[in-house]
Amino acid sequence: MKRQNLILNSIFVIATIFVFSNNIIFIETPEIFAKAHELGNIFSNLSLAYISSYIFYLVVVKYKEDKDKKNIYSTIYLRVKKLVDNGNCVVTLLKNYNHSKEEALLQNITKEDFLKLCKNSDSKEEWKRISFLLRLDNDLFKTTYGQMMYDFTISNCKEEIDKIFIFMPFLETELLKLINQVQESNHFKNFSSYSSFDDRGEDMFEYHLLMRKIEKYINTNYKKYLE
């Protein structure tokens, strides 16, 4: 698309220069060769036709394309951001378990520190972030950190990916590749609510790094459409 715009803009500049030169600068210049004046008028008329088409394209087509692109890309950004927020629960749930007060943990956590959090966290322990019980078929049950990890980083991410893929024709290939990497990651395919954080620590950290890549990509390429 950028290459196409460059070509269209270049032709417009050339056409404008030709019309200006033929009709103003060289209007009274003697012909260099026979029929040069007629030939110049032909190219000048073709250039004027292109300039008119270019202006029509900018006013009618390009404006609508940019408006539609802003609406669609801003929606894609919000959907992907929600995917990232859910995926990053591989860190935030462990942070909650360990009562960490590190504000920039999502941006700065190292593999070593992450694996320490996994080792110190029990996936079977009750999720202490909530104080109420959930009810299913009249039986009370308490949710665990493992279940919440699965719900946020797998189930919720699956739902968001399905919603993102509705916009498939508008997804850039790099973003599509990153989302496919999420689906093919070991954490996404193999983690269950009964998995041990310590056993799955490597996969979970790789998942988090993937979320970092996606967030960086959408902040660079999509966030601007929110403005």
Domain span including residue 155: 67-226
Let me know if residue 25 belongs to a domain. no
pLDDT at 104: 81
pLDDT tens for 25-46 read: 666 666 565 665 666 667 777 7
Let me know if residue 114 belongs to a domain. yes
Let me know if residue 12 belongs to a domain. no
Let me know if residue 59 belongs to a domain. no
Let me know if residue 48 belongs to a domain. no
| Cβ atoms of residues 176 and 214 within 8 Å | no
Let me know if residue 104 belongs to a domain. yes
Q: How many CB atoms lie within 10 A of CB 6?
A: 10
| pTM: predicted TM-score of the whole model, two decimal places | 0.70
Q: What average pLDDT score do residues 175-196 get? A: 95
β-strands 134-136, 139-141 pairing: antiparallel
pLDDT at 9: 73
Question: What is the tally of structural domains in the chain?
Answer: 1
Q: Which letter does DSSP use for residue 194 in this model?
A: T
Let me know if residue 7 belongs to a domain. no
Q: How confident is the model at residue 52 (pLDDT cuts 50, 70, 90)?
A: confident
* Residue 90: pLDDT over 60: yes
Let me know if residue 60 belongs to a domain. no
Residue 101 or 161, more confident: 161
How far is C-alpha 178 from the chain's CA centre?
A: 9
* Residue 118: pLDDT over 60: yes
Least confident of 98-107, 169-178, 182-191, 214-223: 98-107
Interatomic CA distance for residues 162 and 164, integer angstroms: 5
pLDDT at 157: 96
Give the angle 219-225-227 at the CA atoms, nearest 5°: 100
Residue 165 vs residues 59, 81, 199: alpha-carbon distances, Å: 31, 14, 31
pLDDT at 72: 87
How far is C-alpha 91 from the chain's CA centre?
A: 21
pLDDT tens for 119-176 read: 999 999 987 654 444 444 544 457 899 999 999 999 999 999 999 999 988 889 999 9
Least confident of 36-45, 116-125, 190-199, 201-210: 36-45
pLDDT at 13: 77
pLDDT at 105: 84
